[in-house]
Amino acid sequence: MLFNIFMLIAGLGALVWSADKFVYGAAAFARNLGLPPMLIGLTIVAMGSSAPEMFVAATASMEGMTDTAIGNVLGSNVANITLILGITALLGAISVSSQTLKREIPMMLVATAIAGYFLHDGQLTRLEGGLLLVLFFMLMGYLIWHAVTNKQKDTLAEEADNEIPKDVPTLNAIFWVVVGMILLPLSADWMVQGAVGIAKAFQLSDLVIGLTIIAVGTSLPELAACVAGVLKKEDDLAIGNIVGSNLFNILAVLAIPGLIAPGAIDAAASTRDFYMVMATSTALAVLILLTGKQRQLKRWHGGVLLLTFIAYQAVIFLS
């Protein structure tokens, strides 16, 4: 058990660190190649927060643990809204003013509904995985087109530009890309193996592993980003990070088990857990809209979201 706990913690730490270094190197290399900062920010930097989920999903799928991969996506999306935004909102009210967010929240709801339609029959096929990936690339294309053609100032776009490293020698950038490419799959495997060992000791299913231990672990980078955003008074960055991460998870990450290990999934994933993802995603939009012109997540909203996360975890373990 102690070895499995060590594997889980070491894997998670290495996963988060290597994802950060990979994004750092890739973004710096792209800047050195002369790619527009807006393009880099909306692709490489934006995908950085979902890199842990991507590699965990790929690793679990290749090891035949499709339910763990799917549970990781669903559990991460629930954790992002209830746990991460819940904790962040408790630090202070989070305002939503960006035009990008007003567009991305409906996109998140539509993408979630599409994923739910694919999952409702208890199967995730290779065709459905391919369609999710196509939708992901269409979304990225739209966001890039909108950023290029829209002249209105946007907080998220500016922040993405600011996060791209400057004056990094090309060899250094390539070095960190290579380090990330080596450590990301290795650390994802360590984390999955550690989580599986712990789960087996407590006789937990593959789905529960993904929904709980792995989902919360891979959501930790979002917690750091959100807290940092609120402390810097960049509220849009906090919610934008969550909405963007959930969009990437439901389209790009969920596509991975469909493409690598298509087939039947745990019935609870297509009912209880998907309904929870849809409910919390809708609740985020409703809570913001109910505050009228303020467009805020208030402290008491954060408390409700956090209690929701605790109740959901209790239901999972008691089921």
Q: Which of 308, 255, 211 is nearest to 114 (CA)?
A: 255
pLDDT in tens, 196-226: 788 778 888 889 888 988 888 888 877 877 7
User: Which residues, 6+ apart, have CB-to-CB distance to 170 below 8 Å?
Assistant: 29, 32
Burial (0-12, 13-18, 19+ Cβ within 10 Å), 62: middle
Q: What is the pLDDT of residue 92?
A: 80
Q: What is the pLDDT of residue 83?
A: 93
CA distance 71 to 85: 20
User: What is the phi-psi region of residue 35: left when phi exceeds 0, alpha when psi lies from -120 to 50, beta otherwise?
Assistant: beta
Residues of the chain with pLDDT under 70: 37-39, 41-43, 45-46, 97-101, 151-163, 234-237
What pTM value is reported for the model?
0.86
pLDDT in tens, 143-199: 778 777 775 555 555 556 666 777 888 898 899 888 888 888 888 888 888 887 887
